[in-house]
Amino acid sequence: MRPEPIIYYYGEGGVQVNKEVISEKQGIYLITLFIVAETFILTRGMEAKKDFWIAIILGIIISIPFMLMFSRLHRLYPNKDLFDINEDVFGKILGKIISFLMFYYVATNMMSVMYVFNDFIVSVSLLKTPKGVTYMSLTLLCIWVVKEGIEVMAKWTEIILPIILITLFVGVVLLIPQMRLVNMQPFFTEKIGAIMEGSIFTFLFPLSETIAFTMIFTGLKKQGSFNRLYLIGLIFGGGLILILVLTEVLVLGVNDTLSFYFPGYNTFTRVNIGVLLQRLEIISGATFLLGGFIKISVLLMAVSRGVAKVFNFNDYRFIVTPTALIISNVSYFFYESTMFMFEWISDFWGYFAFPFEFVMPIVIWIGAEVRKKIKA
């Protein structure tokens, strides 16, 4: 697929910047798929157990002000990404330090996501394949699409998301006979603390991870549509999370959903209609991996752009390959096992991500508003 021409302009200090323009629809598709990608195989809000649906809805509501913040930053600084904004708001030195911390956070996130999807591939289909082979294959694919640019990535998403939605719809419909409402009853039994924990974790992982888009969105065909882009993407992505987890619990029950490493995939293994429709989880697993491919690519682009901006490189593309290989290798060696990965995410990730996904966006937004008023 041939990308549209890329417009170049020169920012502060004469650094060449790529202005890649996508449509509002493409942006919504990217955010939706980014949000829902891991939920296809993992699960969200289960800290609240049978009241998971309340936790997910609260997580979406908590995320709305942050989506509006991200949109506001784009409108305050058109054609600039988060790294440019940091330097303009906080000055060169402090701005670069903040930008370094932000792309370090995204790199850590990418490291976890890469392990999740590679572990999923090996665990459910390629049992005898060395994990290094799947790591390298996925890494090379992501390097290719990121080097092609966000316009190509967005066009791929326009193709991938409808396929995923059709697969999901067919799977959910075929699972209706196996759904049991009793698996969710009684309602409103969990303590408020458990519900809030579930909502906060849903907010942190994956809803507020969309801060990565402030690092790669520099141009829309309609600049005023950032509000719609983030909010519609959040509602669609959050709604899909709710549908997926609801399906898992209705089919498997709370205890089994919590006991499986990949409850989404295990749910689709239950689709079995005589000799006509069997083993549909293979198709669902393949489509789920397409979502993971896009999410990893978005994160890789954000990290690469951050490295380029912090170290004053002319273009992020030449840094994509070494960045991807370094993160892929760290991910491969850091996680000792699937159990260790899940323990790391549940015990550590929330504390690590909170400053970057909750505190930093607020600080940057307030700084940007103050800076603009001072300039005015």
Tell me the C-alpha to C-alpha distance, in Å, between residue 344 and each of 2, 45, 112, 308, 354.
40, 17, 9, 29, 15
pTM of the entire predicted model: 0.92
179-223 pLDDT, tens digit each: 999 999 888 888 999 999 999 999 998 999 999 999 999 877 765
Q: Count Cβ atoms below 10 Å from residue 94 Cβ, excluding itself.
A: 13
Provide the pLDDT confidence category of residue 10 given band limits of 50, 70 and 90: very low
Task: State the Cα–Cα distance between residues 36 and 207, nearest whole angstrom.
Answer: 9
User: CA Rg, the chain, in Å?
Assistant: 20
Is residue 153 within 8 Å of 317, Cβ to Cβ?
no
Q: Does the pLDDT of residue 353 top 70, yes or no? A: yes
- Share of residues in the chain with pLDDT > 70 (%): 91
- Provide the token pair at 32: 């939706």
287-326 pLDDT, tens digit each: 778 889 999 999 999 999 999 999 999 889 999 999 999 9
pLDDT at 68: 96
Task: State the Cα–Cα distance between residues 86 and 102, nearest whole angstrom.
Answer: 10
Task: State the Cα–Cα distance between residues 195 and 197, nearest whole angstrom.
Answer: 5
Provide the pLDDT confidence category of residue 2 given band limits of 50, 70 and 90: very low
The values of phi and psi at residue 11, to 5°, are -90, -160
Domains present along the chain, CATH in parentheses:
22-354 (1.10.4160.10)
Task: State the Cα–Cα distance between residues 239 and 257, nearest whole angstrom.
Answer: 19
